[in-house]
Amino acid sequence: MIAGRIIAGLATGSLVTIVPLYIAELAPPENRAYLVALKGLLTGIGYLIANWIGYAGSYAKGDVQWRVPLAMQIPPAALLLILVIFLPDSPRWLVTKERYEDAERVIAMLHAKKGEDFIQREMLEIREQLALEQAQRTSASWVELFTLRYAKRLLLACFILNMTKLSGGGVIQNYQSLFYAGLGFEGRTVLLISGCYGFMGVIGQVINMAFVSDKWPRKRTMWLGSLVLTTFLVLLTIMSRFYGDGSHLAGAAAGVAFIFLYSACYAIFFNSTVWVVVSEIFPQHLRGNSNAFAVFSMSVTNIWLSQITPYAFEAIAWKFYFVFIALNLTAAVVYWVWLPETNQLTLEEIAGAFGDEVVKSDKLDHDHKEDTSK
């Protein structure tokens, strides 16, 4: 069991790092957030299914209660193992390996409707920008990641992913039973509420895809989302303070409603936005390492936060919510002041938002004319 848990954890950590990065490198700027949001929607559906499997398992007897939920994870993993064989490589990765024809073939497959001129220009922009970044490299990727030049980006990436836990979302997801117990609910009712809770993430993600992804600026989405989460946490704190003993059913139900609304709003503002931002703010040669380090820091935060949460609720109960309220307010300020806007920019253009040198459009036009005249 322990060995399986370790292997599954390592595999999940790899997927959490790679999947948003892969989508960001293949997606066009105008659909990048939408496609990452689609990944978020499927993740939300997975959580929903897992919640109801857990609820159904509560009626089983003996080892079946935990063996069946564990076994249910095998078919999706096996399907992923098969389907990943048919996925194309990232054109940017192919260019770094000097496999230019393969890179152009992938770009043509992804952007066939945009015409040959767009495909050639996209290929040229990728080659020129990667060549420029390679010429400016001063050390190995891991060493360069921690230099002053990339300090702001690395701190932002770590802060953004750590806030996925410190905003309260991870705690609510993992310790719903404590939240509902704090509102006076107990027994199988807690599992039933948790099952219904899973619907909110799916609903919120659908709203994100319909009205937010690639339509709202990333910066505004994140600072406004932090304020919205703060509002619901304040309301939840009030409900827990006055109706936490279970004596007032309407008040306890209102507390559950605010937890549900928090989940939906987290999906609307953050569930996919954080992953697309972290995946797009670094240059090609640092993108994988930066994502890995940010995810590692998030995982460390998740470990210590998960360890202290039960003790915190036991010691200070509803007052623990004030920690997340303060952190969300801090996040709103950080996003407002320090997060550059990256919406609708190519991965090559985003470097310019952080002060990096980028290939000028007039140079691309000149080089493109030379290429097409040959």
Query: Cβ(142)–Cβ(278) under 8 Å?
Result: no
Which of 202-206, 249-253, 309-313 has the least mean pLDDT? 249-253
Mean pLDDT of 232-257: 80
pLDDT of residue 307 exceeding 80: yes
pTM tops 0.95: no
Distance CA 230, CA 225 (A): 9
The 10s digit of each residue's pLDDT in 66-122 is: 888 888 888 989 999 999 999 999 998 999 899 999 999 999 998 878 888 888 888
The 10s digit of each residue's pLDDT in 38-65 is: 988 998 898 888 878 877 877 888 888 8
Rounded to the nearest 10 degrees, the angle between the axes of helix 32-57 and helix 2-26 is: 160
Binning pLDDT at 50, 70 and 90, where does residue 196 land? confident
Rounded to the nearest 10 degrees, the angle between the axes of helix 321-338 and helix 151-166 is: 150
The 3-class secondary structure across 155-201, one letter per residue, is HHHHHHHHHHHHCCHHHHHHCHHHHHHCCCCCCHHHHHHHHHHHHHH
The 10s digit of each residue's pLDDT in 5-43 is: 788 888 888 888 889 889 988 888 888 999 999 988 998
pLDDT of residue 285 exceeding 90: no
Retrieve residue 315's tokens: 């010691």
Domains of the chain: 2-87+151-343 (1.20.1250.20)
Binning pLDDT at 50, 70 and 90, where does residue 239 land? confident
pLDDT of residue 138 exceeding 50: yes
Q: Of 109-113, 264-268, 315-319, where does the model show the most confidence?
A: 264-268
Percentage of the chain beyond pLDDT 70 is 93
Distance CA 40, CA 266 (A): 11
Side chain identity, residue 167: S
Better pLDDT: 352 or 36: 36
